[in-house]
Amino acid sequence: MPNPSRRTAQLAGSPIRSLAPLAAAAKRRGKTVYHLNIGQPDIPTPKSFMDGVRNADISVLSYSPSLGIPETLSALQGYYAEHSIDLSPDEMCVTIGGSEAFVFALQVTTDPGDEVLIPEPFYPNYLGNSLVNGIKVVPITTHVENGFHLPPVEEIEALVTPRTRAILFSNPANPTGVGYTREELERLVEIACKHDLFVISDEPYRELVYDGETTSILSFPELRARAILVDSISKRLSACGARIGVLACRNETLMSTIAKMAQIRLSPPTFSQYGLIAFLKDPNHQDEIAQMVERFRARRDTLFEELQTIPGVICRKPEGAFYIFVKFSQLDDTAAFARWMLTDFENDGETVMVAPGAGFYATPDKGCDEMRLAYVLEEEKIVRAIAALRQGLAAYEQVRGEVQASI
């Protein structure tokens, strides 16, 4: 029987979704599973967006233009202007989610064998898509003790080689919630200009900032030909299933190539674009996002406070997004613990699903004592989830040797 390609055989799968079968089995046994593993908000998608989908005047559900419906691009132009980002419609491409946008960005800036610098821990799909495209991820290791902020410029610059082509990061960051300061971004700008690199900034959590301010990569004029913005409506609109993302770049040559890539994959979703158009036409759309931000702020504060009640926890309050990356000094294999929580543990019929930390790293053996928690549930559920986690950690101490011996 033929084997799969080498480039796909090396894929590890998602640490965010890999335990889903165990969670499903736990639910069939009657357990309540609190999902802190995945960035899927439970907040209703705005009514104006859903009305735009329902009321779309379409008699034939045809392909949309490869770069996006012109009205979508015009609406996005207005949205970015609200955030002091000046873009023309021909500097944007509507994509099938933010995932396609960063895949396009990687493919247009690198060739097989090239290298990309990425702060770790990072969104696992950065690594998966790099591997599939023959790109080597060179990690910029960051640490929980300083809230996963970037190291000094000298430490980052030492990682640059003749094969380095780009720097990729999310800001605010998934999975750590760190919000990079302007000074930190200036370090990356300095390195990019000095070494002739592209900078790819993934910014779907732009509004979800609770401390400080976020700075878009497109705000640096010296990066005009180097900066690529990756974006998505999934998080700010609680519309993950809409699969609408954006790639924006002021480099005409890159955008010309992106246009060809968009043609090859045909078109982005039609109905979802009409939903987005309707939402951005709603005069209250900024208020709706602001209300969502405040709900996530309250959830962040609740989760952080509850985590402080667990002995051995090391974490910093995240500045943005809706994740917190936590180190547990009492664990050396959070993947085994996460599985056990779903298969063997319950607290009054409840348990919790988390994302083990190792899958967010490229450096071997990193993150084995860490996990990502997403504060996408109501505060009451977060309190119950952390109660289950706290009880689970205490119970696991008694059986850890047996669990690890059975793996």
Q: How far apart are the first and last CA of the chain?
A: 29
Encode pLDDT of 61-81 as tens digits: 999 999 999 999 999 999 999
Beta carbons within 10 angstroms of residue 155's beta carbon: 12
Which token pair is 346? 């319950």
Do residue 192 and residue 159 come from a single domain? Answer: yes
Which parts of the chain sit beneath pLDDT 50?
A: none
Q: What is the largest CA-CA distance in the chain?
A: 63
Residues 313 and 387 in one domain: yes
Residues 257 and 139 in one domain: yes
My answer on whether 28 and 161 are in the same domain is: no
Q: Which residues lie closer than 8 Å to 12 by C-beta, 6 or more apart?
A: 124, 128, 359
- Short-list 18, 78, 9, 29, CA closest to 350: 29
Orientation angle between helical segments 20-28 and 334-343, nearest 10 degrees? 20
Residue 407: the pLDDT is 66
Residue 141: predicted pLDDT: 97
Give CA–CA dist 404/346, Å, rounded.
Answer: 19
* 31 and 97 housed in the same domain: no
Residue range 253-268, pLDDT digits in tens: 999 999 999 999 999 9
Q: Which of 218, 227, 16 is nearest to 122 (CA)?
A: 16
Q: What is the pTM of this model?
A: 0.96
Q: How many helices (H) and strands (E) does the chain have?
A: 13, 13
Q: What are phi and psi of 198, to 5 degrees?
A: -85, 155
Residues 335 and 232 in one domain: no
Residues 275 and 311 in one domain: no
Question: Which residues constitute the domain of residue 22?
Answer: 6-44+287-396
- Taking alpha carbons only, the member of 308, 278, 298, 264 closest to residue 380 is 298
- Is residue 283 a contact partner of residue 169, using CB atoms and an 8 Å limit? no
Instruction: Write out the H or E segment, with its range, that includes residue 232.
Output: strand 227-232
Q: Are residues 368 and 292 in the same domain?
A: yes
| Same domain, residue pair 292 and 391 | yes
Taking the C-alpha atoms of residue 305 and residue 383, their distance in angstroms, rounded to an integer, is 9
Do residues 151 and 258 both lie within one domain?
yes
**What CATH number should be reported for the domain holding residue 129?**
3.40.640.10
Q: What is the pLDDT of residues 27-55, one digit of tens each?
A: 999 999 999 999 999 999 999 999 999 99
